[in-house]
Amino acid sequence: MISFAVLGGLLLNIGAFLTFKGKIYEAVGIYLFADICWIIMAYERDDLLGVVSIFVGVTFGLLAFLKMQSGKMNKSINKENDDL
């Protein structure tokens, strides 16, 4: 049987591949599913501090994803100094 840790790791690899291919929105969605797997894993092991810390990270990731979708985040990594 596959554990939530292994499933989260597989999803992390898929997300990294999508990031490599330039599909950032899809990658962030996959990363969020991986985080959910790790929250379940930490909960099953009675690691409440792990659940809370992973949940905080997921919240920031979700907020960043929503900011990207709304167009309020600059998506270019090649900014000129004039653009700041």
- Domain chopping of the chain, boundaries: 4-71
Upper half-sphere CA count for residue 54 (Cβ side, 13 Å): 20
Confidence of residue 13 (pLDDT cuts 50, 70, 90): very high
Confidence of residue 65 (pLDDT cuts 50, 70, 90): confident
Instruction: Output the average pLDDT for the chain.
Output: 82
Contacts of residue 55, defined as CB under 8 A and 6 or more positions apart, other chains included, come to: 39
Q: How confident is the model over 37-58, as a mean pLDDT?
A: 88
Give the Cα separation of 12 and 37 in Å (integer): 10
> What's this model's pTM, rounded to 2 decimal places?
0.69
